[in-house]
Structure 1
Amino acid sequence: MTEHSRHFDRRTFLKASGVALAGATAASGSVAGESTWNYELAGEALDAGAQEVVVQDDWAYTANGASIATVDLSDPTAPLLGGTAPGHGDDNKDVKVAGDVAGLADDGSAGGVTFFDVSDPAVPVELSFYDAASGVHNCYLEDDYAYLCINDSFAYARMVIVDVSDPENPVSLEGDERGSGGAWMLRDRHPDMADAGVNPIHDIYVQDDLAYMCFWDAGVVVADVSDPTDPRAVAHFGAADDAGERPEDAVEQYERYLGGHETNAHYVRPTPDGEYTLVGAETFPGPYEDAVVPGDHGGIRIFDTGDLSTDSEPGDPHEGHVGYIPAPDRPADALRTSHNFDVTDSKVFASFYQGGIHAYDIEDPGDPRHLAGFAAPGTAYWAAVDLPTAGPRRYTVGSDIGKGLTVLELNHETPGEQSWDADEELGPDDVLTGTMGKPL
């Protein structure tokens, strides 16, 4: 995608949308008075620049532009900033952690992943920097391997696997040619989708030797990575009907890349048993230069992947989903597309930018049930993560873009009034800087 085609007329959008939240919401699922679920604010931690957040044990790890930060969540009602450490570059949007190693991905000029020793989470220490020779928007860490999203060219969008068994000396498993060896490239299976120019690899999730890769309008490809030197595709689903067609001009490119509400694959998470896979779309309705992007704010599709295994063969990439979680319908005139989310055996915890954080019951994946939602003036959430605790209380951790972490308690009380000191109003620039300018 060219810089020209990425240009976003923010003045036009601001005039069209206004983007001011009317008030905080602590919404329950179902009809008012019928549901006993609600979210209550439990605690906050300032973490300037916060974007992605992940949780391991009692600690949260955030990517905040130029550095990694850790937050002690041992008392969810009083989260404390633990430590910070600079990464390479100043466009680090993603962080992942596995055991004593954390990876901070830079999507800018540095182009790579900084690895840290987090054996003491309060004092992250840099171990190494893996130079990917390309911006890395997202990555994943699992055991001794890092899985990187590489988009040095959309036509060659691919997953590259890096051996981090010695995190001080990360080693790429990709061969001499792009996409060979320990890598998987969309064009090797669907060259038409790769050449369409609108299908980068955006995110990766790894579970049970399966790597779930988001290829935007080309949907999700699942690869068997039990042999990390030779990934093999075992499933492909969620592709848009026109995923293999190249846009005629920049206007259509906007419409395709950012439009629709049940189309692109921006984020993916399987359920813990792998029976279902949830795929979130990031779409923004509204005027962009000469284009009026069709559709609505992106939601989350649910696909039946019960037959998926390392012995599977990819099926119809256009096969439909079995369930759907729509974006929240309020606050009005706000950016409410789905972003990053967490999935447990029976629940989904999702962020929707200014639409807030929402919890859903997916005991019946074909009919997800909204439980509770939380959106406050001046907030926009990048991610929502479940925080397991030993006791009966249940918490959700959200990263409020550029500000810090919000900890919410999900409980079974009748929804009541919630006080919140209104923050400053947010405009589209505040929410979308680094996202709309570079939609990856």
Structure 2
Amino acid sequence: MRRRTVLRRLGAGAGIGLTAGRAGAHPTPTDGGTAAPGPASMPTGDDPLGVLAMDAVYEVVTSPDGHTAYVATGDGVAFVDLVTPTNPRLIGLERDLLADSADGPIQRVQDLAVSGTRLLVAGPAHPADGARGLIVFDVADRRDPERIAGVELDTRIHNCDFDGRYAYLTANSRDGNPLSIVDTETGREVGTWSLLDADDAWDDVPSGLWPLHDVWVQDGRAYLAYWDGGTWILDVSDPAAPSVVSKVRGRSPAELAAIDDPGVERSEPPGNDHFVTVDDDASLLGVGGESWEIDDDGTGGPSGIELYDITDPTAPEPVATLDPPATSDPSPGGILTTAHNFELTAGRCYSAWYNGGVRVHDVRDPAAPDLVFEWRDSEAASFWTARRADGCFVAACTDANGGTEVQPGVYAFPDPRIRTPTPTGAASPSGAEAKGTALGVGGPGFGIGTALAAVALAAWRARR
């Protein structure tokens, strides 16, 4: 199927193209080709409020006040203003990271993390020329970020997290695919942990089945996604001495060592623990799988997001699954709708599903998640992550997955309203029994932006 590049660059700023805001940012009607059978290729759900087109987009995280998006761009990091969701604006770029290294600047920057007013950027995500390591910026003034640390390392870094001092890094270039913990104030590695520390039997399993793909750190705990090796919880209250709290899921080394075809195994369900995170009080954990159909026997396809109750972190309990969107072609290069990165916050799960679009679930009752928002345009958009901001949520549109021909960019979407049921028998101000109370969008100052977007989108529809 021929996909269309839908967001045309209307101008240029430091190598990043800018689209018109509001109506001009909405995907245009199909300009040719035939839609694949299966799910509709045009969007469902509310329209984007605004889009900033860029040359490359990977992970996006938002500042604590929700006013800024920090965007990994492959060659560095971009700073995007979100104060007006109908008009996200580029306000800064930092490139040539570790350019003073003998190996040159970091290439393939795909991940970053924020802690208060400090931003961690690390790479490269994949084997590449150039330096390997991390940079820390003080972003108290988002228009004038200050580099406060730079550390060269001996490993590529696909994903990372940050607690304000210690950087937690996926060190898959090393034997044992360890977690590396680096003190960014001294530049020294202070601790490591690997599945080999849990059981020597992992040495008998092809290491390609258990790379450390993701790490999330919160309140002295680290949550590790070890692909087919499963998801693990560590105590990192002493970063120099990580210890196991529990194994959340995953098969045993003996089971994986007996696999006939590791290549298919690492690409199809049931493994592929790709991304892990927890909610605000670390009582709910989410594990996203990333999988495809490899051998056309119907056993592969997209994975979803598994939710676990970790109120007792030593005894995780599965509570629900967020199933992936439908696809007519789950093969690599097809219409990928597997889970990618997501956020659990404020009783919601904001999730990205590549060509499957973006979704928001109400997970205040984790055993009964409720889909409250979805938007997809499988031909025009492929999403890497979704994150809550002030008055909206943002999603990173990427051309990183095979077969996709889209314009990368940062999308701002309306934060959906969620209804809170009124207790039975409670009276409304008018004396009638209330049906529920609507919780508003995600932050103050959103009403006028919604109104402007509604007017602009109505005009766009009229022109169409």
After TM superposition, the score normalised by the length of structure 1 is 0.75
**Structure 2 counterpart of 1:201, one-letter code:** L
Residue 419 of structure 1 deviates from its aligned partner by 8.3
Contact kept in structure 2, 1:47 and 1:69, CA below 8 Å: no
Contact kept in structure 1, 2:337 and 2:356, CA below 8 Å: yes
Aligned to 2:226: 215
- For CA contacts below 8 A with separation 6 or more, give which structure has more relative contact order: 1
Contact kept in structure 2, 1:212 and 1:223, CA below 8 Å: yes
**Structure 1 counterpart of 2:246, one-letter code:** A
**Structure 1 counterpart of 2:52, one-letter code:** A
Aligned to 2:197: 188
Residue 47 of structure 1 deviates from its aligned partner by 2.4
Aligned to 1:73: 82
Instruction: Give the secondary-structure state (helix, strand or coil) at the position aligned to 1:218.
Output: coil
Deviations 1:297-325 (A, max 9, x none): 010001121112xxx5xx6xxx7722100
Are 2:36 and 1:59 aligned? no
Residue 355 of structure 1 deviates from its aligned partner by 0.4
Q: CA 1:93 to 1:19, structure 2 compared with 1: closer, same or farther past 3 Å?
A: farther
Q: Distance in 1 between matches of 2:39 and 2:132?
A: 36
Aligned to 1:23: 41
Unaligned runs of 5+ in 2: 1-34, 98-104, 400-407, 419-453
Residue 158 of structure 1 deviates from its aligned partner by 1.3
Aligned to 1:367: 368
Residue 122 of structure 1 deviates from its aligned partner by 2.2
Instruction: Give the secondary-structure state (helix, strand or coil) at the position aligned to 2:168.
Output: strand
Are 2:140 and 1:119 aligned? yes
Q: CA 1:374 to 1:231, structure 2 compared with 1: closer, same or farther past 3 Å?
A: same
* Superposition RMSD in Å: 2.8
Deviations 1:388-422 (A, max 9, x none): 44xxxxx1100001511000003349xx9x8899x
Instruction: Give the secondary-structure state (helix, strand or coil) at the position aligned to 2:48.
Output: strand
Q: Distance in 2 between matches of 1:357 and 1:404?
A: 14
Are 2:55 and 1:48 aligned? yes
Residue 240 of structure 1 deviates from its aligned partner by 3.1
Q: Distance in 2 between matches of 1:339 and 1:420?
A: 34
Unaligned runs of 5+ in 1: 1-16, 28-38, 174-181, 390-394, 422-440
Aligned to 1:267: 275
Q: Distance in 1 between matches of 2:410 and 2:359?
A: 15
Q: CA 1:298 to 1:275, structure 2 compared with 1: closer, same or farther past 3 Å?
A: same
**Structure 2 counterpart of 1:255, one-letter code:** V
Residue 359 of structure 1 deviates from its aligned partner by 0.6
Q: How does 1:75-94 map to 2 (within 5 A)?
A: 75-86=84-95, 87=97, 88-94=105-111
Q: Distance in 2 between matches of 1:242 and 1:228?
A: 26
Q: Distance in 1 between matches of 2:170 and 2:225?
A: 9
**Structure 2 counterpart of 1:72, one-letter code:** D
Contact kept in structure 2, 1:273 and 1:345, CA below 8 Å: no
Q: Distance in 1 between matches of 2:54 and 2:339?
A: 22
Aligned to 2:386: 384
**Structure 2 counterpart of 1:95, one-letter code:** L
Q: Distance in 1 between matches of 2:350 and 2:182?
A: 29
Aligned to 1:334: 335
Q: Distance in 2 between matches of 1:125 and 1:47?
A: 23
Aligned to 1:135: 156
Contact kept in structure 2, 1:82 and 1:123, CA below 8 Å: no
Residue 143 of structure 1 deviates from its aligned partner by 2.4
**Structure 2 counterpart of 1:302, one-letter code:** L
Q: CA 1:132 to 1:247, structure 2 compared with 1: closer, same or farther past 3 Å?
A: farther
Deviations 1:272-306 (A, max 9, x none): 1222211000001244xxx7583320100011211
Residue 344 of structure 1 deviates from its aligned partner by 1.3
Deviations 1:176-220 (A, max 9, x none): xxxxxx111111112323541210111111111101111111211
After TM superposition, the score normalised by the length of structure 2 is 0.72
Are 2:170 and 1:170 aligned? no
Task: Say how many residue pairs are matched.
Answer: 361
Aligned to 2:306: 301
Are 2:288 and 1:280 aligned? yes
Q: CA 1:194 to 1:420, structure 2 compared with 1: closer, same or farther past 3 Å?
A: farther
